[in-house]
Each structure stands twice: as structure tokens, then as C-alpha cells.
Amino acid sequence: MVDTVGEEVKQTSGILNKIFQPILDKLPSLIFAILFLLIGFFLVKQIMRILKRAFNRSNMDGIMSSFIRSVAKIVLYVLLIVIALSILDVPMDSIVAVIASAGVAVGLALKDSLSNLAGGFIILFSKPLKEGDTIEADGVTGKVEAITILYTRIVTADNKTVFIPNGVVASGKIINYTDKDTRRVDLNFGISYEDDIDAARKVLLEQVQAAPEALAEPEAKVVVFSHDDSAVVLQLQVWTKSENYWQLHYRLLENVKKAFDSHGISIPYPQMDVHMPEETTDSNS
């Protein structure tokens, strides 16, 4: 009985030894790998802070700075993990094979994300926009706040944040409203066919001169834009700084209406004249 128990204990000890001995043999390497990762994560954060300060001092565009730092962070983290695995004596050939296999699998699963990543590089180096620009992309108009690895972040005029995939931005049409320092405000005003065109033109130009956002050069113009069914349409063309576009737009819409009213110039609206035939009475009735 004692011999049987002793054999079972010995057999159990042998099994436990086979299980835990490799772990004990690897324990120093495991501890070192964990310490390496902890120190590495701390150093990556410090490197990111140094890069951010360096980019700020170099006056690099904010979008490019943010994108480069995002890519650098991912590369550094992957490098840390590879080095930690090598510390644990994982064969480098196996690491490369796993990374290659994972790369193929991830590439197939995340082909849209890779497209967005490539789109980010295209936007970064072709520079169709920069941080703070007001753009229209994918049907969304707003101010560019940042370009991350996968998305372009835009804040709309009513303070909504919209994330547009970089691939969509890079492959689609981009309208940059603030790329140039100045923009032209085009406003159409209809006047009656009975009104004097020169008098209406004078009123429009007076409102331009009174608007502080309007630029003196290039000179504002009023042209006959079209002859509509109910009105002669005059187009006012006036230049302003890009950041003042909407202020001038709304100011002129309001002030021109008030000025037309005070000068007796009507703004016609579509209307229909209905002529009713006179009723005739039967002479024999």
C-alpha cells in the first residue's frame, strides 16, 4: 500500500515537473520580456511627446504631424512586441511567418481599412487640404479638424463631428472653400420688368459699399443674369475674404431687401392671371 502511494506521488511529481520546469526555465526571460515591454511602452509615449514638440517647433502642418505620429506609434508598438517575442526565444523565422500570415489575413479582412490607410498617405502628400480648411467632401461641408490613419475628421457649421473614410476623400471630389484668400459672393435678385435696371444696379452697389466685409478690389459688378417668366434677374458679384463669405452673404440678402423696399423696387414672385369669360344670357330666356 505504501509502495503504491509512493509510486503515485512520484509519478505525479514527474508530471508536474514536466509541466512547470519549462516555465521555470523561461521565468527569467519572461520577467525580462515583461519589464522590456513596460519600459518600451513608457519610452514610446515619451518619443511621441518629443515628436509632437519637434513638429510644433518646425511649423509642420497639423494634419501631417498627427498622421506621422499615428503611423510611428503603431510601428514602434509592433517593433516592441517582436523584440519581446525574440527575448522569449521565439524563432525569428516563426515570427516573420506569423506576421506574414497575419498580414495576408488582415489584408483580406480589412481591405477597406487598408484603402483608407493608403488614402491617408495620398491626402498627406498631395495636400489638397490642411488643418482648419473648410471643405466639401462626400456631400459633407465643414472644417477639417484632423486626419487620422483611417478617417478624416470634419466639424460642420452646427458643430457636428463627421468621420469620412480617407479612401472616400482621396478618391472623390474635394471642394476647398478656404484654399484661396478671397472668394466671390454671387447673389441673384429678381426685379419687375417695369422697374429700372440702372436704378436697381445703383441700389445694389450702394449696399456693397456699406458692407464692411466687401473688398474694394476686385470691383463689384451687377449684371443681367437672365430674363425669367416673372422677373429680370440681376446677379451681384462681390469679392470678400474667404473667412467673411457667409457674413457678407447674409448681410447683403437682408440689406438689399430693405433697400429695394425703400426705393420702391419690387421683387416679383410667380403669379398666374386667370381670366374668366363674362356670362352671357340667353336672349330668348
| pLDDT value at residue 141 | 94
CB atoms near residue 32 (< 10 Å): 13
> Does one domain contain both 163 and 202?
no
pLDDT at 107: 58
How many other C-beta atoms are found inside a 10 Å radius of the C-beta of residue 207? 22
- Judge whether 177 and 254 are in contact, CB under 8 Å: no
CATH number, domain containing residue 186 = 3.30.70.100
User: What does the alpha-carbon distance between residue 134 and residue 145 come to, in Å, rounded to a whole number?
Assistant: 10
- Classify residue 273: in a domain, yes or no: no
| Cell numbers found for residue 31 | 520577467
* 274 found inside a domain: no
The yes-or-no verdict on residue 196 having pLDDT over 80 is yes
Per the structure, the count of domains in the chain is: 3
Residues 197-247 have pLDDT tens digits of 999 999 999 999 999 999 999 999 999 999 988 899 999 999 999 999 999
In a domain, 33, yes or no: yes
CATH number at residue 97: 1.10.287.1260
Pull the grid cell for residue 284: 330668348
pTM: 0.59
Domain residue limits at 140 = 119-176
**Is the alpha carbon torsion for 193, 196, 197, 202 positive or negative?**
negative
In a domain, 156, yes or no: yes
Measured in whole angstroms, the distance separating CA 63 from the mean position of its chain's CA atoms is 10
* 51-86 residue pLDDT tens: 888 877 877 666 667 777 877 888 888 888 888 877
- What are the φ/ψ torsions at residue 278 (nearest 5 degrees)? -70, 140
pLDDT at 34: 85
Q: Using the predicted structure, report yes or no on whether residue 126 has a pLDDT greater than 60.
A: yes
171: domain CATH number is 2.30.30.60
Residues 252, 237 share a domain? yes
Q: Are residues 54 and 105 in the same domain?
A: yes
Rg (CA), the chain: 36
Give the cell for residue 35: 519589464
Asked whether the bond before 218 is cis by omega within 30 degrees of 0, the reply is: yes
- Which of 141, 156, 176 lies at the terminal end of a domain, its last residue? 176
